[in-house]
Structure 1
Amino acid sequence: MQNEQLQEILNEYGIREPEITFIRHNENRTYKVEDHDGSTYLLRIHQPVKDGMAGQQHTYDGLLGELQMLEHLSGRDQLLVQRPLRNREGKLITIIEHEGKRWNSSMLTWLEGRDLQKDDLSDPVMVEKLGASISELHQFYGQYVQEGLDKRPSQGIAYNQYMIGVIKQGLTKELFTFSDVSVIEETISLVNARLKDRRNEEAWGLIHGDLSLGNIIRTRDGELSFIDFGFFGPGYYYTDVAMGVMMVPSELRDLFLKGYYGNDHAGQDELVLLEGFMLLAIIGYYVFQMENESVHAWMRERMPKLCADYCKPYLSGERIFYSV
């Protein structure tokens, strides 16, 4: 996308003669915008690099739900997040035309810092802080009420079932074997059965839905900030907790649980479900990347290990919480 087109968008926010730096094109096109007054912003063109990556989060109503949530969350002192900007018409979304199509775009304030790194999580203090930060996010979600959240991606039992169908597509692409696909289907079905067997109303709410090292910023003063809420929406809190757990070294995972739950053990039933959601998070990555041929070789190589080392032990009743 040419700078002239980007400048047309920035004009809607009263930004003149900025320095624009392309960041990447994955789920969205993203640019760093440095204004002449010293302010810095993130410009997002909500056009995924692959058509198969498009989802509810790219629609106008879906994106609006994310931005409205961020506007509310950015007003809280407990968590530092990017604040969305409103254009000169007072709207959170600016519609543009590019390559003969209409796309949604949005502007966020810039967060100074760097991606969270594995070495950061060798520090017990940082591990407990990560758990506590996710807990704080969920506390906010527990009282957040907004219309239109049904337009956001939802990660529940129905989505888990949908993932089975996508994984089966890997057979026609010759990515996976029948036996491994069968193991994945059995694993997802077991997690769904356990969710149906238990009362999980308190575990269901709004979630970030895509926590990873790259979606957490460590600020200069050592605080943690969540970014990229593209998969924000209804889901089980276990999803975020499981994704957080997998970032943390095995020997410090009890500290993570202490940060999140307030104690160092979630209870046996909770751990079993968390293990299942750890596997769902990994399977979810395969599902999201199914149309991305650049990672097909990796998927083809790693799927047998996922099934043999983690899914099969989980299905047989072994504990995998400290090994995934």
Structure 2
Amino acid sequence: MDYTKCFKEVLLQYSFTDPIVELIRHNENITYKLTEKGSEDTYLLRMHKPITKNMQGVQNTREAILSELEYLIAWSSHSELPVQNPVPNQNDELVTTVIVEDEEVHCSVLKWIFWETMSKQDFNSEETVNTFGTNIANLHRFSLSYQHGSCFIRPEYGIEWTNTMLTKLRFGEEIGIITSREFHIIKNTFSLINARMKEWNKTKDTWGFIHADINYSNLILTSKGISFIDFGLSGFGYYMMDVAMGALMTKGELRDALLSGYTNIISKRVDIEQLEAFMFLAIVGYYTFLVSQKNKHKWIRENISGLIEHLCKPFLNGQTVFYNI
């Protein structure tokens, strides 16, 4: 597909005058930074076209993109932290669809938040980690009260999702970057997690709308504190999935501070086994993202043994790995 042509078609649908354009990246979306010349008006343009078919999903449909944007509008009216607000096109639509080479491409524009992207070094203090846990809890507390319509569509992160992940990893075995023995151990780990997941209740307090992609690149340090960006993979799942992703970003000795910050807002018992399961799934999710990219196969081959020895085997042996991952 000619993405340059697609980009130009999209710009015509908005009231931009002569923006300075900067390509940011192409992962689950193609993203551009747009800055109007002679002003500080800056925007994020997303073309909802993943870099590989491996990443294609319900989140790329027009209905799901609109649902994400509606959530952001609602969240921005409640959040004390900056939120990337959607920008409508000239037809007052939040999602712009263009047809290039007989293919539909859905696009959206968000207001730019001037930020400093966070890194591992930013989570070295108990106070910061505790606040981070509080911020995740505040996001979930809003989700608990959020009322969406019947047309609201987003991905779901349950057993079907884990099975899809395993299918994607099987491709790694088929092409030889994951050995049959390694895949067997990974498969057994998935089986254990799925068995436990079947026993987890889906109640209002445990299951709801989550960010689902909490990592350093999706957290920004603003003048008002740590804020979340990029809800492109957001959907319905267990709230502990977000907490587990947050835990992966902090040192083992600081993870109790994260849980404390979370439970101070949402009073509930935290299931460590559940957190460990989602930590494993978050890590493996990165492998499934890379397995369809040939230039990343060497990295997978070099690191897969560490995943097996330090996570899968201890997990299967019933050892607690929450503080060691």
Q: Give TM-score scaled by structure 1 length.
A: 0.92
Is residue 93–residue 105 contact of structure 1 (8 Å, CA) maintained in 2? yes
Q: Which residue of 2 aligns with 1:287?
A: 288
Q: Quote how far apart the aligned CAs of 1:5 are.
A: 5.8
- Percent identity over the alignment? 37
Q: Which residue of 2 aligns with 1:76?
A: 78
Q: Quote how far apart the aligned CAs of 1:198 are.
A: 3.9
Q: Which residue of 2 aligns with 1:161?
A: 163
Q: Quote how far apart the aligned CAs of 1:95 are.
A: 1.3
- What SS class does the counterpart of residue 31 from structure 1 fall into? strand
Q: Quote how far apart the aligned CAs of 1:2 are.
A: 7.6
Q: Quote how far apart the aligned CAs of 1:4 are.
A: 7.6
Q: Which runs of 5+ in 1 are unaligned?
A: none
Q: Which residue of 1 aligns with 2:48?
A: 46
Partners of 1:250 and 1:266 lie apart in 2 by 21
The equivalences for 1:1-324 within 5 A come to: 6=7, 8-36=9-37, 37-147=39-149, 151-201=153-203, 202-219=205-222, 221=223, 223-262=225-264, 270-324=271-325
Is residue 155–residue 233 contact of structure 2 (8 Å, CA) maintained in 1? yes
Partners of 1:257 and 1:319 lie apart in 2 by 16
Is residue 81–residue 227 contact of structure 2 (8 Å, CA) maintained in 1? yes
Partners of 2:24 and 2:14 lie apart in 1 by 20
Q: Quote how far apart the aligned CAs of 1:120 are.
A: 0.5
- What SS class does the counterpart of residue 214 from structure 2 fall into? coil
Equivalent residue letter for 2:40: G
Is residue 12–residue 88 contact of structure 1 (8 Å, CA) maintained in 2? yes
Q: Note the aligned Cα RMSD (angstroms).
A: 2.1
Per-residue Cα deviation, 1:48-76 (whole angstroms, up to 9, x for no partner): 22232221111111211111111111222
Partners of 2:173 and 2:5 lie apart in 1 by 44
Partners of 2:8 and 2:198 lie apart in 1 by 51
Q: Quote how far apart the aligned CAs of 1:149 are.
A: 6.5
Is residue 127–residue 256 contact of structure 1 (8 Å, CA) maintained in 2? yes
After TM superposition, which residue ranges in structure 1, 4 or more long, deviate above 6 angstroms? 1-4
Instruction: Sort the Cα spacing of 1:10 and 1:120 in 2 relative to 1 into closer, same or farther, 3 A.
Output: same
Partners of 2:3 and 2:295 lie apart in 1 by 26
Is residue 79–residue 136 contact of structure 1 (8 Å, CA) maintained in 2? no
Per-residue Cα deviation, 1:126-148 (whole angstroms, up to 9, x for no partner): 11111111111111111112235
Q: Quote how far apart the aligned CAs of 1:226 are.
A: 0.9
Partners of 2:314 and 2:134 lie apart in 1 by 30
Partners of 2:74 and 2:292 lie apart in 1 by 34
Partners of 1:258 and 1:158 lie apart in 2 by 31
Q: Quote how far apart the aligned CAs of 1:236 are.
A: 1.0
Partners of 2:23 and 2:300 lie apart in 1 by 29
Is residue 23–residue 33 contact of structure 2 (8 Å, CA) maintained in 1? yes
Equivalent residue letter for 1:205: G
Partners of 2:306 and 2:176 lie apart in 1 by 17
Is residue 81–residue 225 contact of structure 2 (8 Å, CA) maintained in 1? no
Q: Quote how far apart the aligned CAs of 1:294 are.
A: 1.9
Is residue 54–residue 168 contact of structure 2 (8 Å, CA) maintained in 1? no
Partners of 2:5 and 2:177 lie apart in 1 by 42
Q: Quote how far apart the aligned CAs of 1:7 are.
A: 5.1
- What SS class does the counterpart of residue 151 from structure 1 fall into? coil
Equivalent residue letter for 2:303: R
Partners of 2:94 and 2:22 lie apart in 1 by 22
Per-residue Cα deviation, 1:180-226 (whole angstroms, up to 9, x for no partner): 2121111122122222234342311111111100111112x261111
Equivalent residue letter for 1:214: S
Equivalent residue letter for 1:310: L
Q: Which runs of 5+ in 2 are unaligned?
A: none
Q: Quote how far apart the aligned CAs of 1:104 are.
A: 0.8
What is the total number of aligned residue pairs between the two structures?
321
Q: Which moved more, 1:117-126 or 1:31-40?
A: 31-40
Partners of 2:105 and 2:21 lie apart in 1 by 19
